[in-house]
């Protein structure tokens, strides 16, 4: 079965009544957790981006605090899980500023774990790829906003 294009779906949704659109949204939310989380963001959290960012940071902090530092394999798995969750929330927001702020926080907390990142290639590559993502996100922001985040980025690089 071939899926319709996005423009075809858009035209079809426009032709539906509000009640039918509501039913479709509810059906989508039922079948996939990601759809439900995205709807939750759009309905309840999109209006206050700062509290959304703070809740994501708190969630990340909790996960990293429970990090098993004695077993590197488990530590890597936990770090990847935190990053996967962060990327999912960044995708929901779609804002480059949110992306930069969350990834900067991730890098700060990752450094503070005390795990020697430079000694393990996988962790070093993961960390450096996040730094590249931060720089890419910052390049699209306004200069005034960029300045604030660039200072944070420099602190991470010195740390």
105's CB contacts (< 8 A; 6+ apart) are: 57, 60
The predicted pLDDT at position 107 comes to: 93
The predicted pLDDT at position 15 comes to: 93
Pick from 151, 149, 79: which is nearest to 112 by CA?
Answer: 79
- Over its length of 159 residues, how does the chain's per-residue pLDDT go in tens digits? 788 898 998 999 999 999 999 999 899 889 999 999 998 999 999 899 999 999 999 999 999 999 888 888 999 999 999 999 999 999 999 999 999 999 999 999 999 888 888 888 999 999 999 999 999 999 998 888 888 888 888 888 876
Q: Which residue has the tokens 């077993």?
A: 71
pTM for the full predicted model: 0.86
Question: Reduced to 3 states, what is the DSSP secondary structure of residue 130?
Answer: helix
Cα(99)–Cα(43) distance, integer angstroms: 20
CA dihedral 42, 102, 57, 34 (to 10 degrees): 40
Residue boundaries of the structural domains of the chain: 7-47, 49-158
């Amino acid at each position: 079965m071939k899926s319709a294009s996005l423009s075809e779906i858009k035209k079809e949704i426009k032709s539906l009544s509000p009640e039918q659109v509501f039913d479709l949204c509810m059906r989508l939310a039922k079948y996939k957790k990601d759809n439900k989380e995205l709807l939750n963001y759009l309905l309840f959290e999109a209006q206050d981006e700062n509290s959304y960012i703070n809740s994501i940071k708190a969630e990340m902090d909790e996960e990293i605090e429970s990090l098993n530092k004695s077993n590197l394999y488990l530590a890597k798995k936990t770090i990847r899980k935190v990053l996967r969750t962060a990327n999912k929330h960044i995708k929901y927001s779609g804002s480059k500023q949110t992306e930069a702020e969350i990834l900067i926080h991730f890098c700060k907390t990752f450094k503070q774990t005390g795990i020697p990142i430079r000694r393990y290639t996988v962790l070093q590559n993961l960390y450096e790829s996040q730094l590249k993502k931060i720089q890419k996100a910052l390049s699209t922001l306004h200069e005034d906003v960029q300045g604030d985040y660039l200072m944070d980025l420099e602190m991470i690089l010195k740390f």
